Amino acid sequence: MKRLFIALLLFFPLALFAQTFNKAVGIRGGLSSGIEYRIYTDDANSYKFLLATRDNGIQLHAFKEFHQFDMFSFTEQLTFFYGVGVHFGYEQWDKQYVQDNTSWYEERTALLAGLDGLAGVEYLFYEVPLSIGLEVKPYFDVLGREMFNIELFDVAFTLKFHF
């Protein structure tokens, strides 16, 4: 029994190192902050779903991602990825009205929909199934408070658990 326990202690870290992952769940902290879920279809492709908050509203984003593992020659653990996607949700804001030296605010809500881009780098720790990343997600709203709103620098940090 003692030998079995020692063998498990010796080989368990090697088993963790050899794992392959096909899913990831994580958090994103940026202008659009939220929870994300990624499904790998193969080594170079994945789909990501992000439930994010922005502008006092909630949006659901869906991305098709492409991964390039061989861009950085100094390590295999750093990956470049890019992708395209769409988003749908709502946003809220307060509109100010002024009449006869009196002002008041009224809460407004609008549907939000648009197109997204995505580019970033991600470092995967082989010892534990975690990754950290830095990404930029430019978006283009076609519906919302402002028609045709463009944001080029929605930069965020990510932390993901792979399984």
Find, among 143, 29, 35, 32, the residue nearest to 90 by Cα: 143
Q: Is residue 5 part of a domain?
A: no
Q: Is residue 66 part of a domain?
A: yes
- pLDDT at position 95: 87
Domain of 40?
22-162
Q: Is residue 37 part of a domain?
A: yes
Q: Is residue 27 part of a domain?
A: yes
Q: Is residue 114 part of a domain?
A: yes
Q: Is residue 14 part of a domain?
A: no
Local confidence pLDDT in tens for the 163 residues of the chain: 455 445 444 444 444 444 678 999 999 999 999 999 999 999 899 999 999 999 899 999 999 999 998 888 888 899 999 999 999 999 999 888 888 888 889 999 999 999 999 999 999 998 999 999 999 999 999 998 888 899 999 999 999 999 9
User: What domain count does the chain have?
Assistant: 1
Q: Is residue 13 part of a domain?
A: no
Token reading at 4: 């079995």
Q: Is residue 56 part of a domain?
A: yes
Contacts of 88-92 with C-beta under 8 Å, sequence gap 24+, read 88/59, 88/60, 88/112, 88/113, 89/57, 89/58, 89/59, 89/60, 89/113, 90/57, 90/58, 90/59, 91/54, 91/55, 91/56, 91/57, 91/144, 91/145, 92/55, 92/56, 92/57
pTM (two decimals): 0.82
Question: Any idea what the CATH number is for the domain that residue 133 is in?
Answer: 2.40.160.20
